[in-house]
Amino acid sequence: MRTFATLLATLLASAVISFGADAISLTLSANQMSIATGQPSLVLMSSGSVHIPVWSLSGGSVGQSVAGLVSGLPSGCAAVKVEIVVTTTDAATTGSSESQPKK
């Protein structure tokens, strides 16, 4: 399930906020986030010639997290904090099972 955690971390935190008749789109890329707790790693996910920075959360350590602030909001709202946290462990994602070849 490490792949799932990695894919989850690749998602850009995004939202559409509506203030009256105006709607704005907000995004937060992996490069705009940083380690909040634990030891997640920023890696490149590649497909052909496309390389995208993503956060890799092992899923084997509860409490690992990355966080970032979304700015550029309308007046009256300073920022929105987005945090991605590993909340449970999965035996399939612990370090010992990742290093063993599947039979």
Residue 43 lies in a domain: yes
In a domain, 14, yes or no: yes
Tell me whether residue 36 is in a domain.
yes
Could you tell me if residue 101 is inside a domain? no
Task: Summarize pLDDT for 11-60 with one digit per residue, the tens.
Answer: 433 444 555 556 677 788 999 999 999 989 999 999 999 999 999 887 67
Flag whether 103 is in a domain: no
Least confident stretch, 5-19, 63-77, 82-96: 5-19
| pTM exceeds cut of 0.85 | no
Q: Map residue 92 onto helix, strand or coil.
A: helix
Within-domain flag for 78: yes
Tally of CB atoms within 10 A around 65: 17
pLDDT per position as a tens digit, 67-82: 999 887 878 888 888 8
Instruction: Name 34's Cβ contacts closer than 8 Å, sequence gap at least 6.
Output: 66, 67, 68
**pLDDT at residue 6 above 60?**
no
Q: What is the pLDDT of residue 1?
A: 44
Q: In terms of pLDDT, which residue wins out, 89 or 3?
A: 89
Q: In the chain, how many domains are there?
A: 1
* Domain, as residue range, for 86: 2-92
